Every structure is written in structure tokens, then in C-alpha cells.
Amino acid sequence: MPETTEKPKKRFSRKEIVEALRIYRFILPYKWQFITGMILLTITSSIVSVIPGGFGKLINAALPAADAIDKIAGVLKSQLASDAKLSEIQNQINAFKSQIDPNKLKDIGFLLGGVLLIQAILSFFRIYLLEYVSQNAMAAIRRALYEKIITLPIQFFEENRVGNLTSRISSDVSQLQDALSNQLAFFVRQLVLPIVCIPLLYHVSPKLTYVILIILPLLVVAAVLFGRFIRTISRKAQDKLAESNTIVEETFQSADMVKAFTNEAYETRRYGIINKSVAAIGMESAKYRAGFVSFIIFAMFGAIVYIVYAGLQEVALKHISIGELVQYFILTIFIGSSLAGLSESYTVLQKTIGASERVNEILGEESETKVEDEHLTDLIKGTVEFKDVSFAYPSRKDIQLFNGLSFKVDSGQKIALVGPSGSGKSTIIKLLSGLYPFQDGEILVDGKDIRKYNITALRKNFGTVPQDVVLFGGTIRENIAYGKPSATDTEVLEAARKAYALEFINSFPEGLDTVVGERGVKLSGGQKQRIAIARAILRDPKILILDEATSALDSESERLVKQALDELMKNRTTFIIAHRLSTIREADTILVINKGKIVEQGKHQELSVMDKGIYSNLLKLQYDLE
């Protein structure tokens, strides 16, 4: 298996951060909901700072009552000890009553209850609106990402592993969603609270507030330094996790191959190695995070202890009341928890920048096709001509596969491509389909260069029956209708009948609704091939491509399917890639390809008698093997 190279560490420049945050352009259709949610978030974060003041006022309102009770008790003792009259004691009590105001306590309590009710209502709408924006924006990102990936050229899929692409849609988009819905709210609240609370602290006690103002810049600097380390580590963790997901996906999809080669232990070790790397990166991240949190705990709780000590001295000196000290203390806790949580939010935002950058990398790729071209069709007759075509694979540009390849196929002709493995047979079909760009020459369809066609409209004229049949995990009906998604049940059944697939389909209790399983695992090779033939029949293509279309069939099935293919090939330009030469005897022209060149050309009868010919030699070898 190829090993992935680790990306070098780098810092994000301001330009890169701005570019990465462009991903949030997907919230523009919901900008008013987002703006309203952010306004409510700011309001609710600010309202929190009012609550400590309410507690302080409650305490200050209740303290005179407590003091009065103590004083009354003292008066009673002194008066009783001196045999004072009861009326004099009552006068003393009445004097202290004037200091107690129960209505004030009630008013403050109702006020606090009203503030909390408003906070609850606004929080509900804030959460709902931001979640609405988050869910819709992320759904749009996932769709845009999937649409972009599925419309990229085949080279992109050859250069990128499926697990990495899946991770972009799942892990990276989930990271963006978490940042937009939850972490954004936390981050804003952690910024708003200090901004609102510090002026209130200063109003209560400027002296104590200076302590907070000394600590705050230290925490901000520490957060920036911490973010510099965690950013690179987070990206490494995401990449390693994507790599481990790739291993899981590949081995699960190829479970039969793993078991055939008894490589369960090997794959377990391979996954264990990459999994250990993920854990090691996680521990590296935890080391920095633990150090930062330890610093926060020491700095903040040390400051709180000092504030309590200095605050009590201020109360003793009558500079502030006990209620104001409680208010100051609660506000300090709010600020401390906000700054402590700021590191976690900052870490998430750093991860978000990395995820956003990776998503933008894919969205910035140039698509090969457009989804909106779905209904475009260029009707063709099927004449194909290669004129001096030169081609080298994009990944191996130094190795020329074709150099001046030329041949012509008239509409309705059957042309067979024969030759050793690696000679370029399948590549000719991929060039004709526009899957690979060729460097020189022309490929003409009905006399028009394929580069001048809309590629989607051109490909609608192609139908393929591959050797390695790919079925999706849905029903038989869905797999046949893949050739024509708008097909009716009657059309699907007719295509199945012509492909001689109806008999085995009807043998299943669910018929067309039989679920074929992942990659058609519940069907035999011959059954899968006949479904692929039915799919091609339903498509009704002008250019038909048969890549060993009967190779997986038994003799009886091959005879039946050959009848269906003979009917299907009538009046269609057909390319037949064949290793079993007995299947191409009736081809109008056979092209023998060797090392990227046409070395022999003609009908079966002509080529089979050529002395020392490649075709005749291949024919003899097959007869000997049979």
C-alpha cells in the first residue's frame, strides 16, 4: 500500500485565514437569521452580567434585617437586666423596624426572576436561529462538496483515496458545523462577558479591577502561543484520522480479498499502526492543552484568592459593602470561566480553519461536468475516428502510451480491440469517453472533435457493459434503471427480459425489489453481468462498449446473453474489448493493439491465418489452454 507523505508544518497567514473563512459564504442565504441570532447571543451574554448585581442588592437589602435582629436581641438583654418597662422595649423595636424593608427584597426578587425569564426566552430563539442557519448551511456545503467531487475528472479519483474524500464530507463539514452552531456561541459569549463585566468591576472597586487587567493580557498572549502549536497538531490529527478511515473502508469493501489471502492479522497491524499514530498526535495535543489549562487554573484561581482577601479588607474599611463584594466575586468568576473556556474555543476555531481550508481546496478544483447539464443531449450517429492521437497518463507524462494512433469506425460497425494486458485497449475507450485528455491529434465523433461537445451530452450516447460489474447497494430495479433513471417499470422489465435476466429476478420473492447488497454481493457473477446488460439495453446508446461482457457467464447463460447482445448491437457502433477471442469472430474489424500501436487490423478470418501474427498466436494459445 502506498504511504502518505506527511505535510510540512506551516503557519496560516492572514490571507489564508480569510480564504479559509470564505466557506461561511454558504450562510449568506440565511444572513438575517444569522444576524438576529448573533444579536440575541450578544444580548443574552450581556444580560448574564446583570445577575450578580441583583444578588448583591439582595444581600445588601437583607443585611439590615440581620443587623436589626442582633441589635434587638442585645437591647432585650440590657433592658431586661435593668427591669425596664415593656413600652420602652417596644419603642426600641419600632426604631429598628424602620431599617427593614421586606418590599424591597420582594421587588429585587421579582426583578431577578424577570431577567431570568427574558434570558430564557431570548436563549431559545438564539439557539433555534443559529441551529437553523447551521443545519441549512452545512447541508448546502455537503451538497456542494459532493457535487464538486462527483463532477471532477477521473484523474482526481485516481490521485485521491476514497477514505480521504469521505472524510472531507463527514469529518471536516462536521467540524465546521460544530464551530458555527455551538463553538461560535461559546466564543462570542466568552468575548462579550469580559467586555461587559470589566466596567462593572471597575465601578465597584477600581483597586481590585487592576488585578484582572494585569492577568487578562497574559491569558490572551498564552492563548495565541497555544493556538500556534495546536493548529498544526490538529491538522496532523485530521489527516491521520482520514488515513485510518481509508484503511477501514478499503478493507471492509474488500473483505473477501482480505480473507482469501488470510491477511486479517496484517490489516489489523496496519490499522493498529496508524491508529497508534492518531493517539500519539492526540497525546501531543493533550500535552499542550494540559499545560495551558494548568496555567489558567493557577493564574485565575490565584487571582480569585487574592480578590477575596483584598475584598474583605475593603469591606472592613467600609470602602465597599458585603453585597458589592459578592457581586464583584461572581463577576470575577464569570470572567475567569470565560477566559478559561476561551482556549478551548480558540482550539476549535483553529481546527475549523484547517477543515475550511481543506473543503475550499476541493471546491476550488475545476469540474469536468456540470450538474445543470443533466438534460442536455447531442444526438449522434456513431462514426468514430482517431487521427494521430498522442497520449501519456497525467501521472506518467514521461511515458508515451499512444503516438500517432489512427483508425476509423463507421456508424453501426462492430470493432474489437485485442492485445496483451497493458497495451492500451481500455485507454482507447476512456479517451473516446473523454475521461482522459489527450495531448495531440483529434478524436472525432460524427466528424466533430469530442472537445467541442458538451461532455455530458456526448456521454449520454454511450452505454457500457464492463467486465467488473459495479452494482449499487439498492434494489435490482434501481440498478437496471441507473441506465435511464426516468424509466417506467414496464421499460425496466422489458430490458431485463431482453438481457435474459427476468427468470432469475422472478425467482426472488421480492422480484425487482430484491436488495442486491453492497456492490451486488448477494448476486452471482453471471447475474450481476446480466443486470449490467439490462442497464445498457435500457440506456439505448448509440455507441456501445462491451468489456468482456460474457466472461462471468456459464455456457448456457453466455448463449442467452449473446443473443441479447446480438440484438443490442444492431445499428449501433460497438467497441468490444476481448481476451476470449471466440467472442469476436463476427466483428467487422479487429484491431490488434501492442505497446500502444495498432500492429494488425482486419477480420477474424484474415488475422487468424497470418503467419507469425500476434492475433493468430493468441488464438493458438487459447485453443491450447482450452
Question: What is the full DSSP assignment across 311-340?
Answer: HHHHHHTTSS-HHHHHHHHHHHHHHHHHHH
Q: 394 near 438, Cβ under 8 Å?
A: no
Q: Is residue 262 left, alpha or beta, with left meaning phi > 0 and alpha meaning psi from -120 to 50? A: left
Lowest pLDDT segment from 56-60, 380-384, 403-407: 56-60
Q: At 23, phi and psi to the nearest 5?
A: -60, -25
Per-residue model confidence as pLDDT tens digits over 520-570: 667 877 788 888 888 888 888 889 998 876 665 667 767 777 777 777 787
Lowest pLDDT segment from 214-228, 242-256, 453-467: 214-228
110: three-class secondary structure by DSSP: helix
Distance between CA atoms of residues 167 and 139, nearest Å:
15
Per-residue model confidence as pLDDT tens digits over 326-379: 777 777 777 766 766 666 666 677 777 777 878 888 888 888 888 787 777 778
Distance between CA atoms of residues 61 and 105, nearest Å:
6
State the pLDDT confidence band at 102, using cuts at 50, 70 and 90.
low
Which H or E run includes 592? Answer: strand 589-594
How far, rounded to the nearest angstrom, does the alpha carbon of residue 271 sit from its chain's CA centroid?
22
Report CA torsion sign: 606, 609, 615, 620.
positive
What confidence score (pLDDT) does residue 37 get? 87
Q: Is residue 318 left, alpha or beta, with left meaning phi > 0 and alpha meaning psi from -120 to 50? A: left
Which H or E run includes 409? Answer: strand 402-409
* Whole-structure pTM value: 0.68
Strand partners, 409: 384
State the pLDDT confidence band at 415, using cuts at 50, 70 and 90.
very high
Tell me the average pLDDT of the chain.
Answer: 77
Distance between CA atoms of residues 600 and 171, nearest Å:
53
Residues 6+ away with beta carbon under 8 Å from 454: 373, 376, 378
Q: 456 near 369, Cβ under 8 Å?
A: yes
**DSSP strand pairing (384-391 vs 440-445):** antiparallel
What confidence score (pLDDT) does residue 73 get? 57
How much of the chain is helix, strand and coil, in % rounded to 5? 70, 10, 25
Length of the chain: 626
Task: Count CB neighbours of 244 within 10 A.
Answer: 21
Residues 6+ away with beta carbon under 8 Å from 617: none
Smallest Cα–Cα separation from 349: which of 61, 11, 21, 614?
21
State the pLDDT confidence band at 5, using cuts at 50, 70 and 90.
very low
Distance between CA atoms of residues 55 and 330, nearest Å:
9
Q: 418 near 578, Cβ under 8 Å?
A: yes
Cα–Cα–Cα angle for 466, 470, 471, rounded to 5 degrees:
135
What confidence score (pLDDT) does residue 9 get? 41
Higher pLDDT, 516 or 71: 516
Does position 302 have pLDDT exceeding 70, yes or no?
Answer: yes
What confidence score (pLDDT) does residue 76 get? 55
What confidence score (pLDDT) does residue 6 get? 39
State the pLDDT confidence band at 4, using cuts at 50, 70 and 90.
very low
Mean pLDDT of 410-427: 87
Does position 77 have pLDDT exceeding 60, yes or no?
Answer: no
CATH architecture of 31-363: Up-down Bundle (1.20)
Distance between CA atoms of residues 275 and 267, nearest Å:
12
What confidence score (pLDDT) does residue 340 get? 61
Share of the chain above pLDDT 70, in %: 79
How many H-runs (helices) and E-runs (strands) does the chain carry? 22, 10
What confidence score (pLDDT) does residue 8 get? 41
Mean pLDDT of 484-503: 87
The domain limits of the chain are 31-363
Strand partners, 408: 385
Cα–Cα–Cα angle for 233, 239, 245, rounded to 5 degrees:
135
Does position 124 have pLDDT exceeding 60, yes or no?
Answer: yes
Strand partners, 464: 545
DSSP category for residue 296:
H
Strand boundaries in 483-583, DSSP class E: 543-547, 573-577
Distance between CA atoms of residues 291 and 607, nearest Å:
78
Edge to edge, the sheet with strand 462-465 lists: 462-465, 543-547, 573-577, 414-418, 589-594, 597-602
State the pLDDT confidence band at 385, using cuts at 50, 70 and 90.
very high
What confidence score (pLDDT) does residue 610 get? 82
Report CA torsion sign: 269, 270, 275, 278.
positive
Q: At 255, phi and psi to the nearest 5?
A: -60, -35
Establish how many alpha carbons lie within 13 A of residue 154's alpha carbon, considering only the half-sphere containing its beta carbon.
Answer: 10
What confidence score (pLDDT) does residue 384 get? 92
State the pLDDT confidence band at 499, using cuts at 50, 70 and 90.
confident
Distance between CA atoms of residues 4 and 232, nearest Å:
17
Q: 495 near 480, Cβ under 8 Å?
A: yes
Cα Rg, the chain, nearest whole Å: 38
Read off the C-alpha cell for 578: 476481448
Mean pLDDT of 450-473: 85
Does position 502 have pLDDT exceeding 80, yes or no?
Answer: yes
Distance between CA atoms of residues 548 and 578, nearest Å:
5
Lowest pLDDT segment from 3-12, 359-368, 567-576: 3-12
State the pLDDT confidence band at 92, using cuts at 50, 70 and 90.
low
Does position 40 have pLDDT exceeding 50, yes or no?
Answer: yes
Higher pLDDT, 519 or 461: 461
Q: 88 near 79, Cβ under 8 Å?
A: yes
Q: 41 near 193, Cβ under 8 Å?
A: no
Which H or E run includes 386? Answer: strand 384-391
Distance between CA atoms of residues 429 and 441, nearest Å:
16
Residue given cell 496560516 in the structure block = 12
Helices (H), 82-205: 86-97, 102-150, 154-159, 162-167, 173-178, 184-204
